[in-house]
Amino acid sequence: AQSVSQHNHHVILSEAASLELGCNYSYGGTVNLFWYVQYPGQHLQLLLKYFSGDPLVKGIKGFEAEFIKSKFSFNLRKPSVQWSDTAEYFCAVNPYSGNTPLVFGKGTRLSVIA
Protein backbone atom coordinates (compact mmCIF):
# COMPACT_ATOMS: atom_id res chain seq x y z
CA ALA A 1 0.00 0.00 0.00
CA GLN A 2 1.09 3.52 -0.66
CA SER A 3 2.23 5.68 2.21
CA VAL A 4 3.35 9.26 2.58
CA SER A 5 5.78 10.48 5.22
CA GLN A 6 6.10 14.06 6.33
CA HIS A 7 9.19 14.36 8.45
CA ASN A 8 8.29 17.35 10.56
CA HIS A 9 5.25 17.46 12.79
CA HIS A 10 5.61 21.11 13.79
CA VAL A 11 7.93 23.75 12.36
CA ILE A 12 8.41 27.19 13.89
CA LEU A 13 10.05 29.91 11.82
CA SER A 14 10.58 33.61 12.04
CA GLU A 15 9.23 35.83 9.30
CA ALA A 16 11.55 36.03 6.27
CA ALA A 17 13.15 32.67 7.08
CA SER A 18 13.33 30.05 4.36
CA LEU A 19 11.08 27.03 4.49
CA GLU A 20 11.54 23.46 3.41
CA LEU A 21 9.03 20.77 4.35
CA GLY A 22 9.94 17.20 3.59
CA CYS A 23 7.69 14.64 1.94
CA ASN A 24 8.57 11.09 0.93
CA TYR A 25 6.27 8.49 -0.55
CA SER A 26 6.38 4.80 -1.14
CA TYR A 27 5.13 3.77 -4.55
CA GLY A 28 7.20 2.30 -7.32
CA GLY A 29 5.29 3.55 -10.32
CA THR A 30 4.49 6.92 -11.83
CA VAL A 31 2.67 9.19 -9.43
CA ASN A 32 0.69 12.37 -9.14
CA LEU A 33 1.92 14.53 -6.27
CA PHE A 34 0.19 17.30 -4.38
CA TRP A 35 0.62 19.76 -1.57
CA TYR A 36 -2.49 21.03 0.17
CA VAL A 37 -2.69 23.77 2.77
CA GLN A 38 -5.20 24.33 5.55
CA TYR A 39 -5.17 27.83 7.03
CA PRO A 40 -6.66 28.24 10.50
CA GLY A 41 -10.43 27.99 10.30
CA GLN A 42 -10.41 27.42 6.56
CA HIS A 43 -10.83 24.37 4.38
CA LEU A 44 -8.11 22.46 2.61
CA GLN A 45 -6.98 24.03 -0.61
CA LEU A 46 -4.56 22.99 -3.31
CA LEU A 47 -1.16 24.66 -3.10
CA LEU A 48 0.49 22.96 -6.07
CA LYS A 49 0.57 19.71 -8.00
CA TYR A 50 2.91 17.65 -10.13
CA PHE A 51 1.65 15.34 -12.84
CA SER A 52 4.55 15.22 -15.33
CA GLY A 53 7.20 17.38 -17.02
CA ASP A 54 9.42 19.88 -15.22
CA PRO A 55 10.08 18.43 -11.76
CA LEU A 56 10.17 21.91 -10.24
CA VAL A 57 6.62 23.12 -9.90
CA LYS A 58 5.42 26.49 -8.75
CA GLY A 59 2.24 27.03 -6.82
CA ILE A 60 0.32 29.84 -5.27
CA LYS A 61 1.72 32.40 -2.81
CA GLY A 62 5.35 31.86 -3.80
CA PHE A 63 5.53 28.18 -2.91
CA GLU A 64 7.36 25.64 -5.04
CA ALA A 65 8.12 21.95 -4.81
CA GLU A 66 10.71 19.72 -6.39
CA PHE A 67 10.03 16.15 -7.44
CA ILE A 68 13.10 13.94 -7.11
CA LYS A 69 12.13 10.57 -8.48
CA SER A 70 15.26 8.76 -7.30
CA LYS A 71 14.56 9.84 -3.73
CA PHE A 72 10.77 9.39 -3.87
CA SER A 73 10.54 12.92 -2.54
CA PHE A 74 8.44 15.99 -3.18
CA ASN A 75 9.67 18.68 -0.81
CA LEU A 76 7.90 21.99 -0.44
CA ARG A 77 9.90 25.21 -0.34
CA LYS A 78 9.45 28.92 0.06
CA PRO A 79 12.38 31.35 0.16
CA SER A 80 10.85 33.79 2.65
CA VAL A 81 7.85 32.96 4.82
CA GLN A 82 5.28 35.43 6.08
CA TRP A 83 3.11 35.36 9.17
CA SER A 84 0.14 34.59 6.89
CA ASP A 85 1.78 31.27 5.91
CA THR A 86 0.93 29.91 9.34
CA ALA A 87 -1.09 26.81 8.48
CA GLU A 88 -1.03 23.04 8.26
CA TYR A 89 0.53 21.57 5.13
CA PHE A 90 -0.31 18.16 3.73
CA CYS A 91 1.55 16.18 1.10
CA ALA A 92 -0.50 13.67 -0.94
CA VAL A 93 0.10 11.10 -3.66
CA ASN A 94 -1.75 8.75 -5.96
CA PRO A 95 -0.75 6.64 -8.94
CA TYR A 96 -0.65 8.37 -12.30
CA SER A 97 -3.35 6.23 -13.83
CA GLY A 98 -6.44 4.60 -12.45
CA ASN A 99 -8.90 5.83 -9.94
CA THR A 100 -7.13 5.07 -6.71
CA PRO A 101 -7.70 7.40 -3.78
CA LEU A 102 -5.37 10.19 -2.78
CA VAL A 103 -3.18 9.19 0.16
CA PHE A 104 -2.18 11.97 2.54
CA GLY A 105 0.68 12.42 4.93
CA LYS A 106 -0.06 13.30 8.53
CA GLY A 107 0.64 16.97 7.95
CA THR A 108 3.16 19.54 9.12
CA ARG A 109 2.03 22.45 11.22
CA LEU A 110 3.91 25.63 10.36
CA SER A 111 3.95 28.50 12.82
CA VAL A 112 5.50 31.74 11.62
CA ILE A 113 6.38 34.23 14.32
CA ALA A 114 7.03 37.94 13.87
- Does the protein bind another protein through residue 60 (CB under 8 A)? no
According to DSSP, the residues that pair with 49 across neighbouring strands are 34
Helices vs. strands in the chain: H and E counts, helices first: 0, 12
For residue 14, give the H/E element and its range.
strand 10-14
How many residues touch another protein under the rule CB under 8 A: the total is: 23
Residues 18, 82, 100, 111: which binds another protein (CB under 8 A)?
A: 100
Give the x/- contact pattern for another protein in 13-52, rule: CB under 8 A.
-------------------x-x-x-----xxxxx--x-x-
Q: How far apart are CA 43 and CA 28, in angstroms?
A: 31
Residue nearer to another protein on the CB measure, 21 or 103: 103
Kindly list the distances between the CA atom of residue 95 and the CA atoms of 1, 20, 78, in Å, as whole numbers in the listed order.
Answer: 11, 24, 26
**In the bound complex, what is the minimum distance in angstroms from residue 67's beta carbon to another protein?**
15
Q: How far apart are CA 33 and CA 45, in angstroms?
A: 14
The residues of the shown chain that bind another protein, judged by CB under 8 A, are: 9, 32, 34, 36, 42-46, 49, 51, 90, 92, 94, 99-107
